[in-house]
Structure 1
Amino acid sequence: MASQESQGQAKPILKDYLPGSSDIPQQNMPVEPTSLWKQTSHTHNLPPGLEYLNQLDQIIIHQQVELLEAILGTETSSKYEIKNHLGQRVYFAVEENGCFDRQLCSPIRSFTIRIVDNTGREVIRVIRPLRCNSCWFPCFLQELEVQSPPGTIAGYVVQNWDPFLPKFTIQNQSKEDVLKVIGPCATCGCFDDVDFEVKALNEMTTIGKISKYWSGFVNNIFTNTANFGIQVPVDLDVRIKAVMIGACFLIDLMFFENSLDGL
């Protein structure tokens, strides 16, 4: 029989391990029986560098603190560490664009984010063109292209028009709709996490989420660096997992770039 002390222990949550604990609870996400998003190819047929994603159902994205940006308030090229649920770095991501884009067009700036593995090999490329970020222009909303390996389309993130909620469609390499991502009406966390739910196409079944973690008032006053967590079924196609990473970058820039983490 378990002791009363162990029964009364609160269950830790994923954000408590940012970064690097070795005792991570496993969370079971409900799985929608939809073949479009499930992993169907064998490991040896996966895009090079994405084999490790085949094992993951939790991905942590941590933006590195830029000293110049923190002190002067100027926008610098964003750099991110992409980690597993143990806090171990799996990939490193660097944003590429011009100073003009960062200073005058943020948060709608165009960019290319190059994601490399721990050997320095580029395995994912995320491309965002300059597009509108307003529900008043439904014909020119956000789109994002994800390539893996670079030069080969893995999928797309497409913003959907909605007067109240942030909505996106995840598409595969053939531009077939695969999943939906739906955010809350208000993305201001108010000292709490902000969850964007990953849903089946019917928008009824939730299979995962992209979470913006609020990491503390003092830290956020001086920097607007991001901590995100992605939770998806482990059997999600690795190409779609790569697209979900791209969706996380897009959500960060659209809703949290100039918000001091939602405060």
Structure 2
Amino acid sequence: MDSSGVAVQMQGPPPNAQGLPPGLQYLAGLNEINIHQHLDILEVATGFERNNKYKICNNQDQQFMYAKEDTDCCTRQLCGPGRPFTMNITDNNFQPLISLYRPLRCQASFMWCCYLQEMDIMSPPGLSVGGIKQLWTPWKPKFQVHDAQQTPLFEIEGECCFCCPCTDIMFTVTDIAKGQQIGEIIKHWGGCREIFGGVNDFKVTFPMEMDTMQKALLLGATFLIDFNYFEPKKN
């Protein structure tokens, strides 16, 4: 972001990114992305849940994608952060790139072992490239990322104290085939923005040479983690 707090847009895609859906070439040349949830003043003032919006930026906070939730009003108010949602991710010209869909899931702890969270990721929208499934554990958050053929690719594991205030929360990303950590999803402590606005900021890291669609899967996983653990419960 610049000194005024406004995200600066990227001027052009990195080189050598042929054969990708339009706009995704930005993602191909990155090893880190930052996700900033939009502070909705009307929502803060009224307590009336509105569709979430996010700016997706590179490591210099230059915006190259935009994400917006598409959920009806009644669902947002009645179901809270456990609601089913579609998240549409576009480039800066609002051309569709990625679509995320999470079905309705109960967030009650006694149901976690049999009604776990999941998300389908499509790019371009309508064509599944994989998804994320929550794995049951008694204490640590844990997810498995798979491709369109249901082949497990990554495991994402959080910390035991994943709801501690005033600190960054880290989720490690492990390559299942290699058995080694290859990235992180970090939920940054947002200070007043988080306390009074209920908005969250994330950083996602991965190898530069990682397949672009696999990067898209980790991007999608970040939104599932956000809704599952860090969205304020207003009802």
Name 2:12's counterpart in structure 1. none
Q: State the secondary structure of the residue aligned to 2:204.
A: strand
**TM-score scaled by structure 1?**
0.79
Name 1:210's counterpart in structure 2. 185
- In the TM superposition, 1:13-32 aligns within 5 A as none
What amino acid sits opposite 1:254 in the alignment? N
Q: Confirm or deny that 1:152 pairs with 2:127.
A: yes
Q: Is the 8 A contact 2:80 2:233 kept in 1?
A: no
Match of 1:193 among 162, 168, 185: 168
- Would you tell me which structure has more strand in proportion to its own residues? 2
- In the TM superposition, 1:20-99 aligns within 5 A as 43-99=17-73
Alignment CA distance shift 1:114-1:91 (3 Å):
same
Residues 188-238 of structure 1 deviation map (CA, whole Å, 9 limit, x = unaligned): 23311000111122795221110110122x333311111110011111111
Larger radius of gyration: 1
Q: Distance in 2 between matches of 1:225 and 1:173?
A: 31
Q: Distance in 1 between matches of 2:7 and 2:23?
A: 22
Match of 2:198 among 215, 219, 224: 224
How far apart are residue 44 of structure 1 and its match? 2.7
Q: Confirm or deny that 1:177 pairs with 2:152.
A: yes
Match of 1:116 among 54, 67, 90: 90
Q: Is the 8 A contact 1:135 1:163 kept in 2?
A: no
Match of 1:162 among 137, 148, 152: 137
Q: Is the 8 A contact 1:19 1:87 kept in 2?
A: no
How far apart are residue 46 of structure 1 and its match? 2.4
How far apart are residue 249 of structure 1 and its match? 0.7
Q: Distance in 2 between matches of 1:234 and 1:19?
A: 26
Q: Distance in 2 between matches of 1:177 and 1:151?
A: 21
Q: Is the 8 A contact 1:180 1:203 kept in 2?
A: no
Q: State the secondary structure of the residue aligned to 1:119.
A: coil
What amino acid sits opposite 2:150 in the alignment? K
**TM-score scaled by structure 2?**
0.88
What amino acid sits opposite 1:181 in the alignment? I
What amino acid sits opposite 2:45 in the alignment? I
Q: Is the 8 A contact 2:98 2:121 kept in 1?
A: yes
How far apart are residue 20 of structure 1 and its match? 6.2
Q: State the secondary structure of the residue aligned to 1:235.
A: coil
Alignment CA distance shift 1:259-1:230 (3 Å):
farther
Q: Confirm or deny that 1:127 pairs with 2:101.
A: yes
Q: Percent identity?
A: 37
Name 2:224's counterpart in structure 1. 250
Which shows bigger deviation, 54-63 or 66-75?
Answer: 66-75
How far apart are residue 63 of structure 1 and its match? 0.6
Q: State the secondary structure of the residue aligned to 1:149.
A: coil
Alignment CA distance shift 1:182-1:67 (3 Å):
same
